[in-house]
Amino acid sequence: MTENLIQMTIFSGYLWSAFRILGHTKSGENPTTKNYRSITQLILLVVLISHLFLLINEIKGGAETKFGLDTAILVIFWMATSFYWLFSFFYKLEILYSLVVFCSAAILPITTILPSNNLFSGSYPSIFGIHLVLSMMAYSIFTIAGLHTLLMAITQKHLNSGKIPHYIQSLPPLLTLEKILFQMIFVGIFLLSLSLITGMFFLEQTTGQVIEFNHKIVFGWLSWIIFICLITGRMLLGWRGRVAINCTIIGYTFLLLSYIGTRLVGEIILAT
């Protein structure tokens, strides 16, 4: 009962913060707006800290460590919101910020219907914990990049049509959005590379093999290759616009399939 009440409070906090952030786009920069934004940031920080304690309790609360599909999704969106909370001090993209926070709110009730049957028992090498954290961080950064790409596609469509709604007018120029996207992808590739490397060390310690050809690993490496090709094409051939959007969507799709997709099949589809 207490845990359900905490979850409802966190859900309400995310939802309230998302609407307040969206309200930032309706006013210009002035002392009142800055105070409004500061209060929103403070409240959202409290919500994130509360959610973190709830996640820790869910993962380590029992005799065994629990990290199933539901927990993985919650951690990814918690990290995504936390990262964007930090990004928001440098980039004023309230539309994307509110979308990330709203997704964190929406995912809370959704995960309650997902199974929680993946328990880690026994001891694992310390490299496994590092690999797991790096993987979740990479997922969260690319989740933001995926939502950012969606926003870019919508912006490009409105610019081509000549009908620009208010929320698009509040955004930076498309070239600036593109620059921010590639900054996210650079960070995401770095984290994904570390995740793949630590995964190889973990496999070597547990199975004696450096790599295995299963769905998770194949899709993970395909995602990494696509993002590396995108960055290379950006630097050498000046790839941008629709090419950058399509490559990001494809790369993120493979990344989703590498863990979330395989867990979805293993814990829900095949289990039914």
Model pLDDT for residues 129-140, shown as the tens digit of each residue: 888 889 999 999
pLDDT tens string 235-252: 998 888 888 889 999 999
Q: Which stretches of 136-199 are assigned E, i.e. beta strand?
A: none
Task: Give the list of residues 6+ apart from residue 84 with CB closer than 8 angstroms, or none.
Answer: 96, 97, 100, 101, 144
Helix (H, G, I), strand (E, B) or coil at 39: helix
Q: How far apart are CA 139 and CA 260, in angstroms?
A: 10
The answer, yes or no, to whether residue 177 has pLDDT greater than 90, is no
DSSP state of 173: P
> Tens digit of pLDDT for each residue in 86-116?
988 888 788 888 989 999 999 988 877 766 6
- The predicted pLDDT at position 261 comes to 61
| Residue 228 pLDDT exceeds 60 | yes
pLDDT at 117 (0 to 100): 60
- Position with higher pLDDT, 158 vs 132: 132
Supply the DSSP symbol for 172. Answer: P
| Nearest one of 33, 187, 39, 15 to 106, comparing CA atoms | 15
Predicted local confidence at residue 160, as pLDDT: 76
Confidence of residue 223 (pLDDT cuts 50, 70, 90): very high
pTM: 0.85
Amino acid letter, residue 138: A
Whether the pLDDT of residue 187 is over 60: the answer is yes
pLDDT, the chain, mean: 82
Structure tokens at 240: 């941008």
pLDDT of residue 125: 73
Q: In the predicted model, what is the mean pLDDT of residues 28-42? A: 71
